[in-house]
Amino acid sequence: SDLCRVRVALRIRPKNTDELAQGADFDTCVELQPECKKLKLKKNNWASESYQFDEIFGENSSQKRIYEVVAKPVVESVLEGYNGTVMAYGQTGTGKTYTVGQLGKEDPSERGIMVRALEHILSSMSLETDSVAVSYLQLYLESVQDLLAPEKTNIPIVEDPKTGEVSLPGAAIVEIKDLEHVCQLLQIGETNRHAANTKMNTESSRSHAILIIHLQRSLKIKEETTVSIPSDTEHTLPGDLPLVLKSKLLIVDLAGSERIDKSGSEGHMIEEAKFINLSLSSLGKCINALAENSSHIPTRDSKLTRMLRDSFGGNC
């Protein structure tokens, strides 16, 4: 179905103060055609290239609208027991962290996809029978670090050979009670991401941040009702035992996609560039394979794609 495929939305952020001061004019290089969901990249007066998207959002699009169009359908399918992923991709400074990670402490209308998804999930389930827990990780130089327990580094990525389920033994999984708790945890993650990056003398944009939301829901099944459930979802039957649906949602703030000029970089910058290029190019290969409905998704090449393996919507 439409939900199972890869969907790509484009968002243009408003001009920042520097761009306004310089009188920058985005219109000379990009033209949005929202009616046909196309973006025209102008190379010069004669040549341009057009790209087709599933959705196009201009500078004035609200965080609420982005959530509703882009993330809400994924969250709804995760609530039904499927795994799903939402990712932000773009160069440094294009608004990835604003779009997915903004906490909106002063102004709730600025909340990004992470907070809104958890708010939606909390309001859609009953905490008496269901549970929601989160892990928050950072992937830097092919090493997984725990943003909720920063002493944990080099966390392994393990795949269950039978179910294909991906897990990260040792990473903190914190059960969520309410939205305030969510914001506290995301704030801790943000602070640790910043601290870890300062220590490593790098920028936040050189690492991937990955929020994993684990959902477990108990469905009471009456005999006469037929419920359609994802075929390979873990469940407990039969008798009067409730059916337990397990699913997860990954929300990923990817490292900046800009190409780093290796000749101009030195030492750890070259290492960074190498690993970011590795993970983003292997992500690209997986997304192409998914888009082409290929039976083989090449997830082995990088830790990023190994972490995402069971959440590319793969259990649909």
Ligand X SMILES: Nc1ncnc2c1ncn2[C@@H]1O[C@H](COP(=O)(O)OP(=O)(O)OP(=O)(O)O)[C@@H](O)[C@H]1O
Contact residues toward ligand X (CB under 6 A) are 13-14, 16, 90, 92-98, 204-205, 256
Q: Are 283 and 139 in contact (CB under 8 A)?
A: no
Q: Closest CB to ligand X among 165 and 253?
A: 253
The token duo for 140 is: 């830097």
Query: Cis omega before residue 108 (within 30°)?
Result: no
Instruction: Give the count of beta carbons closer than 10 Å to the beta carbon of residue 146.
Output: 21
Q: Closest CB to ligand X among 87 and 215?
A: 87
Whole-number minimum distance, CB 136 to ligand X, in Å?
Answer: 16
Whole-number minimum distance, CB 11 to ligand X, in Å?
Answer: 7
- 145 annotated to a ligand binding site: no
Pure H helices in the chain = 17-21, 63-66, 72-79, 96-101, 113-124, 179-199, 268-291, 303-308
Q: Closest CB to ligand X among 77 and 94?
A: 94
Whole-number minimum distance, CB 112 to ligand X, in Å?
Answer: 9
The token duo for 217 is: 């829901």
Beta-sheet pairing, 84-88 with 243-253:
parallel
- 93 annotated to a ligand binding site: yes
- 94 annotated to a ligand binding site: yes
- 91 annotated to a ligand binding site: yes
Whole-number minimum distance, CB 116 to ligand X, in Å?
Answer: 14
Cβ-count burial 117-130 (b if 16+ within 10 Å, e if not): bbbbbbeebeeeeb
Q: Three-state secondary structure along 8-53?
A: CEEECCCCCHHHHHCCCCHHHCEEEEHHHCEEEEECCCCCEEEEEC
Q: Closest CB to ligand X among 11 and 309?
A: 11
Q: Closest CB to ligand X among 99 and 299?
A: 99
Whole-number minimum distance, CB 57 to ligand X, in Å?
Answer: 9
> Quick one: DSSP state of residue 250?
E
Residue 128 region by backbone torsions, left for phi larger than 0, else alpha for psi between -120 and 50, else beta: alpha
Name residue 78's amino acid. Answer: V
- 299 annotated to a ligand binding site: no
Whole-number minimum distance, CB 88 to ligand X, in Å?
Answer: 7
Q: Closest CB to ligand X among 109 and 123?
A: 109
- 96 annotated to a ligand binding site: yes
- 236 annotated to a ligand binding site: no
Binding residue numbers: 90-97
Binding residue numbers for ATP: 90-97
